[in-house]
Amino acid sequence: MIGRVAAVTQRELKSYFVSPVAYIVTAFFLLMSGFLFAGILANTHEATLRYLLSNVSVLFLFISPMLTMRLIAEEQRSGTIELLLTNPIRDAEFVIGKYLSALVLMLVMLVITLYYPALLFLLGGNPDRGPILSGYLGVILLGAAFLAIGLFASSLTQNQIVAAVIAFALLLVLWLADVLQNFASGPIADVVSYLSVNNHFQEFSSGIIDTKDVLYFLTLAVAGVFLAYLSTQTRRWR
């Protein structure tokens, strides 16, 4: 199983870099994160990444749909999904491989941003390492959850643009859930509050790692991948 998942992951990573998608998304991410880093540092005069990592998380609202919109939608549009799923590759292996390819690309993008904390140290600053480590952990967990939701959206349609719009809409609802809870009451307000991405992410940038927040993002990631798997399986019944 591991070998087949790795084969799907490798195939998808190659397709990322054959097309301009990986380069455009990475350039956009680095350009915006660099702009935020410079702007925040100039305005706060603090040797910290706390504000940067909080703002970088917003970029994933846009980046995640861009990275995932083609993963399954393009296979369905071109008909290659039929060939893949008739090979000795199981649906679960296909979906997990697709997900891991997007996750690897996201991690590569985040590794490049390690230049920012390195620069703070090189300039003579002494930023607190705790919030930096917990902040990066939070961004990785948030990105993993967002990519899984994007993968699910991609499994629902053959159109990449539609997949991106669906993914962005789902992520925006989770992002704005803390605002929506103001219009609810009782148990519904509690549920909406729990679904809020912001309520679970903010403590990471403050240097706090809470088990319930880690579980929240892991649950979103697993749920997104599982729903994508179920959606892919339904093709066998059509």
How far, CA to CA in Å, does 108 sit from each of 22, 54, 150, 229? 11, 19, 18, 25
> Which tens digit of pLDDT belongs to each residue from 41-97?
677 666 556 666 777 778 888 899 999 988 888 777 766 665 555 666 677 888 898
Q: What is the pTM for the complete model shown?
A: 0.88
CA dist 92 and 89 (Å) reads: 8
Domain ranges within the chain, ordered by starting residue: 2-237
Q: Which residues of 19-47 are buried (b: 16+ CB within 10 A; e: fewer)?
A: eebbeebbeebeebbeebbeebbeeeeeb
CA dist 72 and 152 (Å) reads: 9
Token couple for 29: 């991410």
> Which tens digit of pLDDT belongs to each residue from 115-125?
877 777 776 66
Cα 79 vs. chain centroid, distance in angstroms? 26
